[in-house]
Structure formats: C-alpha cells, structure tokens
Amino acid sequence: MSELDTDIMYLKGVGPKRADLLKKELGVSTLGELIRLYPFRYMDRSSIQPIASVSQSLAYIQVLGKVVSRTLYGPSSSLLDTSGERIHWGAAKRLSVIVEDDSGRMEMVFFKAVKWNYERLVPGQSFIFFGKPSEFNGRWNIVHPEVDVPQEGSMAQGVLTGVYPSTEKLKNAGITGKVMCRLQSAALARCLPEISESLPDYVLGELGLCSLSYALKNIHFPADSYALEKATRRLKFEELFLLQLSLLKQKYIRSRADKGIAMPKVGPDFNACYNALPYRLTGAQQRVIKEIRADLMSGHQMNRLLQGDVGSGKTMVAVLSCLLAIGNGYQTCIMAPTEVLAQQHYSNIQKYLAPTGVKCALLTGSTGAKARREIFEGLAGGQIGLIVGTHALLEDKVIFKNLGLAVIDEQHRFGVDQRAKLWSKNTLPPHVLVMTATPIPRTLAMTVYGDLDVSVIDEMPPGRKPVRTTLHTPNRMPAVYKFMREEIAKGRQVFVVYPMIYENEKLDIQNLELGYDEIVKAFPFPPYKCAIVHGQQTSEVKNFNMEAFAAGRANILVSTTVIEVGVDVPNASVMVIMSAERFGLSQLHQLRGRVGRGAASSHCILIRDYKCSKEAIQRLELMCSTENGFEIAEEDMKMRGPGDLEGTQQSGLPISLNIASLAKDGQILSEARAYAQKVLDEDPTLDSPKNARLLHELRKEKYQIKDYSRIS
C-alpha cells in the first residue's frame, strides 16, 4: 500500500481517537488527503504590529500580546463572579481579555467558545492574535480573533507559518495549529518521495509552473513568499485546469455522440415576423440569434444558456428561435416559472406571431378541461406550433407530434428533475435554450455550465431609461410617501417590496401585512388603491391582485419577492425596497429591473434599517452607483462567495474546489480554460502518450462531473 493511502491513524501523534475526529471535522482520513488540506492563511512572523499602531485603516492586524486580565460577563453585561470554585458557564455570555505589548493595550472579545478561550488565555502568557480591529468606547478591540501560540523553533523554516482550518473540537483534542503543522510535516516526509507529477512536462514547461512536489512542500512550509506564490499558482491552476478539461472533454464527446435535429431552413414565418418587428433588433440580439441558428443547423443537439439582463429582450430571441424550428416543420414550447409570467409571455408572443401563420396556445394549471383537451389534440396533431406554459407542460399527458425546440425561461426556478422530463418528449432530443436574467459571473458560468454554450445579450434596447437608485433610512419615509403621491398623481404606479426576515413564512407574511397596513393608512381609498401579493395566497388571489396592478387598477403593489420574476408593468416607475440590506445584490438588481420599462423616468428607493454593517451599506451604495448586472453579480459573488449566489444552490457547483476560488481566481480560471481548450483541440480524447497524466487525473472521483446538459 502506498503512503498516500495510509490511514491517518498511523501517523505519529494521531492514533484512532484523533483520526476519528480529523475525519469527522475535516474529512481527512488518509495521509494523501491530509497533505491536500492546505493552510487557508499564513502567519507572517515578520509582520507583527505594535498595538499602538492599530488603526481603522488596517483591514486585519496581527499582534503579539501578553494576557493582562480576563473578565466574564453574564446576561445584560452583568459581571460574572469568577472568584468561587466553579464558574457557571451557561450564564457566561461574553469574555473580554485585555492584552498588552510594549506599546499599549487592547481588548479581545469572545461571544462563542467562551469557556475554551477563558481557560487557555491565562494571564501572563503570550499569544498571537489575528483579526479585524474595531473601535468601541474609545478602545481598540478584535471580536473573535484567531489565536495562535507563538511558535519558536517550529519546523517552518521561513517566516511564514500556515494556519489550517480547525474546529473547537479539534482544538479541545489537542490538535492545535502547532500540532497540525507537525502532522503535516510528518505526512509530507512520508508522502513526498511517492508523489508523482500530475501535469505533463510540456504543460509545466509552457506555463512555467513548478512541480507538484515543490508546490506541496511550499504550500505547507513556504521557504519564502515567492515560493508560496509559485506553489499557490501551480495548485490553483492544476485544480481549475483539470476541472475545465473534464467539462470540455464531456462537451466534445457529447457533440460527437448526440445526434440532434438538423434544421437547415429559415422558413416564411421567421421572415414574416422579422420584417414586421416594431423595432430593430439590437446588435446583441442579432448576434445571439445567429449563434442559435448555427446550432440548429449543425445537426447536433443545442444546449445553450442565454444570459441577459432584465429587459434586454430575451423574449424576442426566444420567439425568433422558435420560428426557425417551426420553419423546419417542428413544434416548440416556451416554459415559464409562474402562471402570471406564462400569461404575459403568451399575450406578447401572440402579438409577435400575428403576421405569421403559426398557431400558439397557453397551457397552465388553471387551463380549463375543455381548452386542455383541445390543446392536447393540437399538440398531438401538430397544429399548434408554439405552446407557452408553466410546469403543466411537463405532464405526461402533454404529447407533442414532434417537439424540436424547448425554451426554458428563468431556469433557476425549475428543479433539475423537471427539466429532465423535457427530454422524453421526443425521440431525438429537442434543442434546448435556457434563458436567465440572473447574470451569472463569467467565472461561475464557465464552471457551472462549463459544458454548455453560453450566449450573452450585453446590450439594452434603446430607449430604456436609467433607473435612479437612492439609499435612505426609515426616517425618510414621509418624504418617500410624498414622492410616491407625486408619481401616482402623474398616473404612475409603485412597487413596495418587503424581504423575508424570519425564515418563517407566517411571520414574514405578518411583517408584510403590517407594512401593508401602514401603506394603506398613508394611501387611503379613495382615491388610492393598494394591492398585496404574497406566497401564501392561493394562485387565484395572487393572480387577481397581480393582474389588478398590471392592468393599472391598483396604484401600489405591496409584496414579497414574488414579483421578482419577469412581470412587465411598463407604467410602474417607482420601486421601494424595505430593509434592503436583507436582499442579495443580484436580487435587488432583479427587483429594480421591474421599473424603467416604460417611458417615464424611474426610481428605485432602497430603505435600509438604522442598524446596518459597514459592508452592507457599501453593498447598497454599489447598487446606487451601477446598473450593470454583471458588475453587480461579480461583486455579489466576491462578497458572499459563489455558494450563496442565487441560483447556484439549486444547481450546485459541479465540484468542490480545494484551493482555487471562483470569486477571486477568475484570471487563472480563464487561462486554465483557454489552455484546456488548446490541449483538447490537439488531442480531443487525450489518448496521446504525452497526455497520459491528464487522463489519469481525470479518472479521479473529484473530476467526475455531473453532465448538466443531460438534465437541463
């Protein structure tokens, strides 16, 4: 057995109990896995700052301080008696530790792991504290600093010491940072002689990357910052490169294996619609339609993701794509996530189709039995060329004569299994076009949809008015109401949106209803009419209220985020968002896209709670300064991490990354993708001897990636 596969239990200093814990807490069970657990940060012993130099301008600080005193606080900041034998830990809410160095004193504050920190931070002993400084009552403190024991003569040769992921349980079991370093050192000593290079020599040479064993050694024990940089770059590149290689290889294999319906013709309906368009397509729309046409002609099945900001004109692209398929004798469908949206699509699309001979129908959950029967007949007989609908389209009873193209709008709202059903609707798989208005950062799209083709509409139709976005606190509400009255007097309509606060639908609705009462008080009937929409209403009530607003019968629509998806009310010119700090940036952007669709100048008014972190305010200020959805999405991802991005939770990242970050390593990812493409262009199956190492790596479980096109 190789050292890499050796159970971690047999490493000096581990044993069965600690091995169990390492496995549970960190998912590490072999030596090979241990050495692939990298430090997430490095302590630079050369850069310890004197306490007196701490200032707000430092995002993070590291100080070496001797503990002067410890104080425990109970509920409501009452002092906890620590003089007796036993401390009542259940009552301990906060621990304050005063530390000093030659230059001054500061406070370390703990709200969690109070007992553990109290017991180890013994007065008279010195520790390294790392964290974000903040000022409170004129004194500097760090809340929940990372605490390390200064390591003199540790095995680290240089000044940089790795800090490993850890948990309280691990620390309690004695696996401190220092011990972890020792374990890594022992594991490396055993494994390094066995490490075989994972990338071909020509790749290392062309890109100037260091070897794997150099990288592993220096990621744990950097000789200096230059060595650390080389090691980091190599490991990040390797991870992203193999990932992209795997995704692109899949795409290649699929494009060879999957026959698709060839659609060489354009047909009269496309031309009739195109020539009657009330506007010129934007350059971006034209480009995307060309891309789709090339896919449809190719004889391979299309799997294309179409990204475009709210209002960028995706519907038109969808309709023209459908007309291409129809021109070749096939049927098409457009699936929307909600009934309201399906209806809206349907009425718009009917207008576009007027100059053509195409029959269009709408199928939703509330389509009556008789209409339903007729639709089923029209689909089975082939008379209906384009059907718009909701999930109802997925029912088994819906049978097409020959479905050639399925368009899915706002795909995040659909579950993976539901999408899979579309595949069974035809013998040859239909072409699939997925449209989303959630701008996914390029780096994420390359990964989540790495094997799909991505088109982007990055240009807005002319005439769209910018939305003026402003940020206020609740004391400005009277002024906001006044402004709303002025807009309503001009014949405009207003959205007021409340967030989900309680993660409990009942309480959220209560909160929303309280807000609604206030609005109704400020805007009494007559002359004002307010409507309310939320997730707990029946779809009948919801549709009724939504339509009342869409048709202009209500001046104000109070709602949770149900309006987020695609509803088009061109006459709405004001969007008020309450507790705006509780929304994600991408979500705010989506909401804002609901206004600015008509001729009026439009406004988005963000109301934030008084208590708001600095970061939250910064995020909201970004909303005020840009309307570029991609910029906002990138920023959102940087601040929150990709896992939190709306949409990615459902689809999930195809793999978990060990060292690279999609949010921060976009540059390396682009390089890795381009290089992977180049390697595959030369050797699509990676069968040539010089790529043997790559083929070997791709067989590893980590790179067995779910094929997203199969389920989209």
Q: Is 314 in the site for ligand ADP (CB under 6 A)?
A: yes
CB of 408 closer than 8 Å to CB of 335: yes
Residue 465 is a binding residue for ligand ADP (CB under 6 A): no
> Between 147 and 437, whose beta carbon lies closer to ligand ADP?
437
In the list 142, 199, 289, 310, the residue contacting ligand ADP (rule: CB under 6 A) is 310
Q: Give the span between the Cα atoms of 112 and 644, in whole angstroms.
A: 24
Asked if 180 and 164 count as a contact pair (C-beta separation under 8 A), the reply is yes
The radius of gyration of the chain from alpha carbons, rounded to an integer in Å, stands at: 30
Residue 461 interacts with, from ligand ADP, Mg ion, none (CB under 5-8 Å by kind): ligand ADP
Nearest CA-CA partner of 133 in 214, 62, 37, 82: 62
Residue 121 in the binding site for ligand ADP (CB under 6 A): no
CA gap 179, 14 in Å, rounded: 10
Q: How many residues bind ligand ADP (CB under 6 A)?
A: 16
Residue 421 one-letter amino acid? K
Residue whose CB is less far from ligand ADP, 437 or 600: 437
The nearer residue to ligand ADP, 311 or 355, going by C-beta atoms, is: 311
**Residue type at 443 in one-letter notation:** T
**Of the listed pieces 310-318, 551-559, 583-591, 638-646, which binds ligand ADP according to CB under 6 A?**
310-318
Closest CA to 306 of 463, 438, 448: 438
Out of 312, 438, 443, 545, the residue judged to bind ligand ADP by CB under 6 A: 312
- Quick check: 285 binds ligand ADP (CB under 6 A)? yes
Give the helix/strand (H/E) hosting 445: helix 442-448
Binding ligand ADP by CB under 6 A: which of 387, 437, 448, 588?
Answer: 437
Quick one: tokens of 128? 């390294």
Residue 279 binding: pick among Mg ion, ligand ADP, none (C-beta 5-8 Å cut-off by kind): ligand ADP
In the bound state with ligand ADP, the residue whose beta carbon lies nearer, of 315 and 469, is: 315
Taking the least distance from each CB to Mg ion, the nearer of 65 and 566 is: 566
What is the smallest separation between the CB atom of 282 and ligand ADP, expressed in angstroms? 5
| Interface segment toward ligand ADP; rule CB under 6 A; list 102-110, 306-314, 384-392, 514-522 | 306-314
Partners of residue 162 on adjacent β-strands: 42
Residue 455, classed as helix, strand or coil, is strand
Which one of 182-190, 312-320, 415-423, 678-686 is the stretch in contact with ligand ADP (CB under 6 A)? 312-320
Nearer to ligand ADP, 72 or 565 (CB): 565
Tokens 């910029």 sit on residue:
631
Segment contacting ligand ADP (CB under 6 A): 37-45, 178-186, 303-311, 557-565? 303-311
Give the shortest CB-309-to-Mg ion separation in angstroms: 10
Binding residues among 208-267 for ligand ADP as defined by CB under 6 A: none
Question: How far apart are the C-alpha atoms of 203 and 197, rounded to whole Å?
Answer: 11
Neighbours of 363 (CB within 10 A): 25
Give, in order, the Cα–Cα distances in Å from 115 to each of 25, 165, 428: 20, 20, 64
Q: Would you count residue 461 as binding ligand ADP (CB under 6 A)? A: yes
Residue 95, contacted partner among ligand ADP, Mg ion, none, CB below 5-8 A by kind: none
Find the shortest distance in angstroms from Cβ 606 to ligand ADP: 21
The span from the CA of 473 to the CA of 74, in Å, is 33
Half-sphere exposure of 104 (CA within 13 A, CB side): 13
Name the minimum Å distance from CB 285 to ligand ADP.
6
Q: Report the interface residues with Mg ion, using CB under 5 A.
A: 566
- Exactly one of 65, 145, 308, 654 binds ligand ADP (CB under 6 A); which one? 308
Residue 435 · residue 311 · CB < 8 Å: no
Binding status of residue 282 toward ligand ADP by CB under 6 A: yes
Picked from ligand ADP, Mg ion, none, the partner binding residue 311 (CB below 5 to 8 A depending on kind) is: ligand ADP
Three-state helix/strand/coil letters over 49-69: CCHHHCCCCCCCEEEEEEEEE
Nearest distance, CB of residue 352 and ligand ADP, angstroms: 9
Closer CB to ligand ADP, 61 or 310, in the complex: 310
Is residue 274 a contact point for ligand ADP (CB under 6 A)?
Answer: no
DSSP helix/strand/coil, 306 = strand
Give me the least distance between CB of 402 and ligand ADP, in Å please: 27
CA angle (173 as vertex; 167, 176 as ends), nearest 5? 60
Nearer to ligand ADP, 255 or 590 (CB): 590
Distance from the first to the final alpha carbon of the chain: 42
Cβ(352)–Cβ(319) under 8 Å?
yes
Does residue 315 interact with ligand ADP by CB under 6 A?
yes
598 binds ligand ADP (CB under 6 A): no
Candidate residues 177, 222, 313, 666; the one interacting with ligand ADP per rule CB under 6 A: 313
Q: What is the dihedral of CA 479, 484, 486, 489, to 10 degrees?
A: -160
Q: Does 709 bind ligand ADP (CB under 6 A)?
A: no
CB nearer ligand ADP, residue 632 or residue 660: 632
Tokens of 672: 């890795």
Specify the stretch interacting with ligand ADP by CB under 6 A; choose among 171-179, 240-248, 275-283, 546-554. Answer: 275-283
Is residue 596 involved in binding ligand ADP (CB under 6 A)?
no
Q: Are 428 and 662 in contact (CB under 8 A)?
A: no
CB of 314 to Mg ion, least distance (A): 5
What six digits make up the tokens of 314? 């995706």
* DSSP state string for 192-233: GGG----S-HHHHHHHTPPPHHHHHHHHHS-SSHHHHHHHHH
Smallest distance from the beta carbon of 533 to ligand ADP, in angstroms?
Answer: 20
As measured in angstroms, the least distance from the Cβ of 285 to Mg ion is: 13
Nearest to 671 by CA among 407, 443, 471: 443
Residue 532 binds which of ligand ADP, Mg ion, none (CB < 5-8 A, kind-dependent): none
By C-beta, is 158 or 311 nearer to ligand ADP?
311
The tokens describing 394, both together, are 């997925």
Q: Is the dihedral of CA 444, 449, 453, 458 positive or negative?
A: negative
Quote the least distance from Cβ 568 to ligand ADP, whole Å: 6
Contacting ligand ADP within 513-572 (CB under 6 A)? 568
C-alpha closest to that of 129 among 68, 183, 219, 220: 68
CA angle 39, 44, 50 (to 5 degrees): 135
CB of 622 to ligand ADP, least distance (A): 22
At its nearest, how many Å lie between ligand ADP and the CB of residue 366?
A: 22
- Residue 641 contact, options ligand ADP, Mg ion, none, Cβ 5-8 Å cut-off depending on partner type: none
Q: Apex CA 169: angle with CA 164 and CA 175, to 5°? A: 50
Footprint of ligand ADP (CB under 6 A): 279-282, 285, 308, 310-316, 437, 461, 568
